[in-house]
Structure 1
Amino acid sequence: MRKYLYLLSFLLFAVTSVLAQKKQITVTGVVLSEESMAPISAATVQCVEYPRVGATTNDKGRFTLQVPADAKSLRISYVGYDTQSVYLTGKPLRVLLKNKDQALDQVVIVAYGTQKKQSVVGAQASINAKQLANRPVTNAVNALAGASPGVQISSSSGQPGDAGNVRIRGFGSVNASSAPLYIVDGSVYHGSISDIPAQDIANISVLKDAAATALYGSSAGNGVVIITTKRNGGGASDGVARFNFSMSQGLSQRGLPEHEKVGAMDHYKLRWQQWYNQYRYDPANAGKSDEELGTLAFINTYNSLIYNPYAGIQSYYQKDAASGKYTLSKGTPGKGKIPGILLPNGELNPEITGLLYGDDLDWYNAVYRTGHRSDYTLSGGLSTRNLKSYLSFGYLNETGYMIKTGYKRYTVRTNLSYNVRPWFTLGTSSSLVHTHSEAPRSLGNTNANGASFSQDIAPIYPIHRHDPLTGEYLKDKKGDLIYDHETNRPFRKNYNAVELAHLDLSQTERDVLVTRSFAEFKPIEGLKLTLNVNYDLRNIRSKTRYNNKTGDQPQGLLEYTSDRVTTLTANQLANYTKTIGNHELDALLGHESSEYRYSTLE
């Protein structure tokens, strides 16, 4: 036993001797809160390479630590803050710790203010700037998809720049709107949410039930979406201007592929079968042979389709004046002759060598394309102990996956807040937005709509006009291809969706100015008085053009609409908060007035 004790004592002495022989260096520094720049006392400072070597900060946040000379970094931790590692530089260290979000102490946005999450009694969900940054979306509403249970996001048009539809409580009305109430930086927002870049948003809160939305009254019957924009673009309060540049590129395509369709080589045969079955089981044709019924079925098929897309045909059906029957024989095209596309048995004529204009029958690819999205943002600011600022410039260009659709947006935003005194704060925010959108003239199921047109048209009808014998493209006097919109075509006569997309026009331009100004007083502990004045201005110009060549308006038509919308809102709020033991009292008294003006010129 003595032998083992002697050996253990020797090993401990050897280890101690080795450590004692290592050269020591002195490390000093200070630990501060990044948000308030206040010193953090009792923070743990630990050597990463030698975990048993450590110290704690004093009441001024300072520490002094002896570490081995080969140590490279320290780890600093404190309850409620993110742990941070720093490298040793040989100079005094200045460590800034970030607040860690706590489940119960986290501050959430609610009606007319903020509350701790543990104090919120209504149904509320939120998404912050970090979550938004991971979603390459055009506007803030699309970022809510999947972020909160019970919130449904949908788009009825797929048009670039479309803000989409938000349903928080399902469909609240049959005739009226089911959209929620939008609050931007504390004031009701009547504009399009697509005007707010996702990069400018600090937080989005969704208030769902009656308890959460009660302060907004009946206007919040469909729920409330509260959007708060960024105010601190400088990060640390050190007076250094910081700016970030972000760029994203993306592609868009139709989400669901086109369903499988019958090709041009099979369309005539299937239509023939339709007519043949009709004649075959008609008692009036009981005495006719299959050849007679097949010939009659083809004649009606051709008369209902009109077009012949096939090349190489040398035989024609011709009606015998005496018997009234059609016979198929070789010949040349002529009056009263019908090209022998099908034999009496419903099969394609073996003379057919292919299609006259097979490269001009793909309506799907003529209407749809691969869209492209480019988004550029320059944002940042400067922050000190008393000043918080945020400045951003944004440009978005998105072309839709359907021809002649697109959306461009230019944005400028400035947010400022200044602590004049510890108890007095002034702030203002303003944004200027210009958008330009282009959309199909008609998004419904009409003759001008490319989506329904390309889906419904038979695969034998070409996009452009062709020589009926050679299949060559026909051109106008300028050398441009001529679109096919023949009045004898049985499907949507005098219409061609591709041609209408290029000739007709539907454009909308918006200029939007949004301003928010506030003054905040804290005369005594727990009492906060706030005055908010908000002004919104929207100028909307819409232009719709109907061409005079084809379509709905043979004489042509140009419609121009100009709308001007202004909103002026002012509110005065008094909020008192008092904590007594484990109980928290929060009282709010407020008054709000709003003026909404709308004028239009057509």
Structure 2
Amino acid sequence: MKHFKFKLTCLLSGICLTLIPLQANDNFTEVLGSTNLNSTTVVEQQKVTVKGQIVDKDNIPIIGANIIEKGTSSNGTITDYDGNFTLEVSSGATLRISYIGYIDQEVTTAGKTSINVILLEDTQTLDELVVVGYSTQRKESLTGALQTIKGEKLKDVTSPSVENLLNGKVPGVYVSPGSGQPGSSGAIIIRGKSTINGSTDPLWVIDGVIIGSSPGALNPSDIENMTILKDAASTAVYGSQGANGVILVTTKNPTSGEVKIDFSAKAGVTSLNSGNLKVMNGTELYDYYSSYSNVEQVVFPRWNEELRNSNYSWWDLASQTGIVQDYNLTIRGGSENLRSLLSVGFYDEKGAVKGYDYSRYNFLYKTDFRPFEWLKVKPSISGSKREIDDKQYSVTSMYSNLPWDNPYDEEGNIVGHYSDKWVNSNSTNYIYDLQWNKSQSTTYEFVGNFDIEAKITDYLTFASVNSYKYQNYNLNSYSDPRSSGASGVNGRLEEQQTNFVRRYTNQLLRFNKMFDRKHYVNAVLGYEFNDYWQKKIQAIGTGFVPGFEVLDVTSIPEKVAGSVIEWAVQSMLFNANYSFDNRYLFQLSLRRDGASNFGDNAKYGNFYSVSGGWNIHNEAFFNVDWINNLKLRASYGSVGNRPSALYPQYDLYSISQSYNSRPGALISQIGNKDLT
């Protein structure tokens, strides 16, 4: 019989409804605390081999859980990357299972050779595994500066941008305001500015794939957790891309067991904030001019006392209460060997300034296939469509246009430019242009990932992450011949298309082993390759009959342009962590980067970091009840960034110059082959 678990959550205007029929799980034993299921003394008996798996309440394997035969001091093991373990014990022995941040459990092996256990979180001492550079690590063993944040903590704000959701969430991370337009994002600065003239954008890594300086069209609802790497000890393993910090994002993963359905709906409103800047109404402005001692020299075409009663609000004309809608649906479930996740989302925002609308459609599909005990195959695809309709009203005119001037006449018709009915007859009426002028852009994005994990031994794993990203951007802009901005050229049409492809792959060997229950080593060795290709085409034409929106009808080709850019980076990397008795910690990171936009004489650069830590709270002499975590750590390392220019090592020429009506070329850049 198939069992299903449905979770329906509706978030709208502060009203929530949750319906969760629970189905017992026959495959696991859940213990609500530390219990002793077999307290009898274990006598010397024949040995048996016990196998099993340790998972959490979400059926996710727990890596590195300790399994000890009770009554012994040395017979034990730890779980591997799949949460599995194998241990030879005395017949009828009791196993004590523990992991930092979870409640200890004791389970008897009497009459059993296979044991599966669910460990429950201890919310008071939770110390989960943290995703760091190319691996995971227990938080207590960290020696670098980083911060983790769960996806649940990002749901208190409705925004299409992941960057905006981080505002005020992480110490040392500043999110500067964006433009405020729907779909816009703020800029993130981690621990201040790290370069003199370069970008301050951190590096984004999503599900192990280096994405670049922005998360792209990532749906915030798909985020499981995020890790922000701040110092050189944490970011040196990213070499020439880690100077501004690194943000690691893990999206939601498929789970086994009953099908789970999550649906959320959010709605909100936005308003335009004028801050401390206020404008005069018609009466105040008239009285202000009348207070001049030389008021007789004030010359307006319509200067008279009736202006005190003329009061048009350009602010109210251009602003509105914006509406935000956000809908997300996630379905996941499956068996132990095949599990899947499907997520779809829709976001729509009408701007607080009229005429600017943004919408986004997202989907994500992930599969976790385990054909053999030693092999995981994890393909995934995601995509998005973003649309912007721009007929935005003028923010500048909110403050600059006079309250005495009305954009509409007595019959409700739009007043044209430079109207003699306006006090400021030299001003244009942007409402007149918005009858026709518009701009529309559409962005399609597709990402396909194919990941493999192969367990070579209990402590050695091979992992391969491969990704292909394609993006298509289209812009269409129309300026009518009757509008003020295009009347001089009898109308302007623009079409622009940009396509780019980004490929990424890394091949990793991960080592994870404990020796003599005190020495713990976690290491990763890898190769990485990342390249980018972009092609852009732009065409602008002028001179056409009003109402036509096709470039073919333009009489003058004002501009035709195009470009192709490429770059590539390849790297070798190594990171190792050593912990002695969970008290003394050491980490070493090495990376060698080669980039196409480094000089020919300096194509490769080396980056490194060393760090150490001391968990004082784990020392026998430390016994302070009101301190549960005290760590001393130190680190030193080097990180870098690549030149913002793609071809600084080459001599470049500009062919846009001309002499005597003939095309010509001038040198625009002197190459530097020693650039590092």
Relative to the length of structure 1, the TM-score reads 0.68
Q: Deviations over 1:100-140 (max 9, x none)?
A: 46757411111112111122221111211221234333232
CA distance in 1, matches of 2:195, 2:98: 51
CA distance in 2, matches of 1:33, 1:585: 38
Aligned to 1:255: 273
Q: Deviations over 1:440-482 (max 9, x none)?
A: 67xxxxxxx7222211222222222x3xxxxx2363xxxxx33
CA distance in 1, matches of 2:31, 2:348: 50
Q: Is the 8 A contact 1:512 1:536 kept in 2?
A: yes
Give SS of 1:591's match: strand
User: 2:298 aligned with 1:301, yes or no?
Assistant: yes
Aligned to 1:161: 183
Q: Say which of 419, 430, 435 aligns to 1:497.
A: 430
User: Displacement of 1:373 after TM fit?
Assistant: 0.7
Q: Say which of 404, 414, 422 aligns to 1:460.
A: 404
Q: Deviations over 1:233-286 (max 9, x none)?
A: x5xx32x32212211111011234563332212323322434x3xx5xxxxxxx
Aligned to 2:550: none
What amino acid is aligned across from residue 176 of structure 1 in structure 2?
Answer: G
What amino acid is aligned across from residue 600 of structure 1 in structure 2?
Answer: K
What amino acid is aligned across from residue 298 of structure 2 in structure 1?
Answer: T
User: 2:510 aligned with 1:510, yes or no?
Assistant: no
Q: Is the 8 A contact 2:30 2:118 kept in 1?
A: no
The answer to which of 415-424 and 134-143 deviates more is 134-143
Q: Say which of 367, 370, 373 aligns to 1:422.
A: 373
Q: Say which of 525, 528, 535 aligns to 1:599.
A: 535
Q: Kindly tell me: are residues 485 and 380 of structure 1, through their superposed partners in 2, closer, same or farther at Cα, counting changes over 3 Å?
A: farther
CA distance in 2, matches of 1:374, 1:492: 42
User: 2:422 aligned with 1:482, yes or no?
Assistant: no
> Which blocks of at least 5 consecutive residues in structure 2 are unaligned?
1-22, 40-49, 54-96, 105-115, 539-676
Aligned to 2:252: 230
Q: Deviations over 1:318-373 (max 9, x none)?
A: xxxxxxxxxxxxxxxxxxxxxxx2xxxxxx5xxx5963x54xx1100111110001
User: 2:163 aligned with 1:138, yes or no?
Assistant: no
What amino acid is aligned across from residue 464 of structure 2 in structure 1?
Answer: L
CA distance in 2, matches of 1:499, 1:176: 42
CA distance in 1, matches of 2:404, 2:203: 50
Q: Say which of 476, 497, 502 aligns to 1:567.
A: 502
Q: Kindly tell me: are residues 103 and 489 of structure 1, through their superposed partners in 2, closer, same or farther at Cα, counting changes over 3 Å?
A: farther
Give SS of 1:266's match: helix
What amino acid is aligned across from residue 497 of structure 2 in structure 1?
Answer: S
CA distance in 1, matches of 2:447, 2:213: 9
Q: Say which of 469, 477, 493 aligns to 1:536.
A: 469
Q: Is the 8 A contact 2:334 2:340 kept in 1?
A: yes
User: Displacement of 1:194 after TM fit?
Assistant: 5.5
Q: Say which of 218, 242, 260 aligns to 1:242.
A: 260
User: Displacement of 1:222 after TM fit?
Assistant: 1.0
Taking only aligned residues, the RMSD between alpha carbons, in angstroms, comes to: 3.4
User: Displacement of 1:196 after TM fit?
Assistant: 1.3
What amino acid is aligned across from residue 583 of structure 1 in structure 2?
Answer: H
CA distance in 2, matches of 1:514, 1:406: 25
Identity %: 24
Alignment of 1:195-594 (within 5 A): 195-232=217-254, 234=255, 237-238=256-257, 240-257=258-275, 259-274=277-292, 276=293, 297-298=295-296, 300-303=297-300, 306-308=301-303, 341=304, 348=305, 352=306, 355=309, 358=311, 361-439=312-390, 450-464=394-408, 466=409, 472-473=410-411, 475=413, 481-483=414-416, 485-486=418-419, 493=426, 495-554=428-487, 555-580=490-515, 581-594=517-530
What amino acid is aligned across from residue 500 of structure 2 in structure 1?
Answer: V
CA distance in 2, matches of 1:258, 1:503: 34
CA distance in 2, matches of 1:136, 1:559: 33
Q: Is the 8 A contact 1:44 1:56 kept in 2?
A: no
Q: Is the 8 A contact 1:185 1:516 kept in 2?
A: no
Q: Kindly tell me: are residues 553 and 57 of structure 1, through their superposed partners in 2, closer, same or farther at Cα, counting changes over 3 Å?
A: farther
CA distance in 2, matches of 1:105, 1:191: 30
Q: Is the 8 A contact 2:201 2:213 kept in 1?
A: no
Q: Kindly tell me: are residues 97 and 116 of structure 1, through their superposed partners in 2, closer, same or farther at Cα, counting changes over 3 Å?
A: closer
CA distance in 1, matches of 2:351, 2:165: 19
Q: Is the 8 A contact 1:387 1:418 kept in 2?
A: yes
Q: Is the 8 A contact 1:160 1:405 kept in 2?
A: yes
What amino acid is aligned across from residue 361 of structure 2 in structure 1?
Answer: Y
Q: Say which of 184, 191, 204 aligns to 1:182.
A: 204
Give SS of 1:503's match: coil
Give SS of 1:382's match: strand
What amino acid is aligned across from residue 495 of structure 2 in structure 1?
Answer: Y
Q: Which has the higher contact order (CA 8 A, sep 6+)?
A: 2
Q: Kindly tell me: are residues 539 and 100 of structure 1, through their superposed partners in 2, closer, same or farther at Cα, counting changes over 3 Å?
A: farther
What amino acid is aligned across from residue 177 of structure 2 in structure 1?
Answer: S
Q: Kindly tell me: are residues 100 and 387 of structure 1, through their superposed partners in 2, closer, same or farther at Cα, counting changes over 3 Å?
A: farther
Q: Kindly tell me: are residues 82 and 387 of structure 1, through their superposed partners in 2, closer, same or farther at Cα, counting changes over 3 Å?
A: farther
CA distance in 2, matches of 1:527, 1:496: 70
Q: Say which of 148, 151, 173 aligns to 1:126.
A: 148
CA distance in 1, matches of 2:403, 2:458: 77
Q: Kindly tell me: are residues 485 and 526 of structure 1, through their superposed partners in 2, closer, same or farther at Cα, counting changes over 3 Å?
A: farther
CA distance in 2, matches of 1:353, 1:176: 52
What amino acid is aligned across from residue 527 of structure 1 in structure 2?
Answer: L
What amino acid is aligned across from residue 231 of structure 1 in structure 2?
Answer: N
Give SS of 2:291's match: helix
CA distance in 1, matches of 2:425, 2:365: 52
Q: Is the 8 A contact 2:302 2:423 kept in 1?
A: no
User: Displacement of 1:600 after TM fit?
Assistant: 0.6
CA distance in 1, matches of 2:401, 2:365: 51
Relative to the length of structure 2, the TM-score reads 0.61
What amino acid is aligned across from residue 459 of structure 2 in structure 1?
Answer: G
Q: Is the 8 A contact 1:404 1:501 kept in 2?
A: no
Q: Deviations over 1:172-214 (max 9, x none)?
A: 4454321111111111114853511111111111111111111
CA distance in 2, matches of 1:176, 1:491: 44
User: Displacement of 1:489 after TM fit?
Assistant: 5.8
Aligned to 1:89: none
CA distance in 2, matches of 1:157, 1:392: 29
CA distance in 2, matches of 1:548, 1:164: 36
Q: Kindly tell me: are residues 40 and 241 of structure 1, through their superposed partners in 2, closer, same or farther at Cα, counting changes over 3 Å?
A: closer
Q: Give the aligned length.
A: 448
> Where is the strand percentage greater, Structure 1 or Structure 2?
2
What amino acid is aligned across from residue 473 of structure 1 in structure 2?
Answer: E
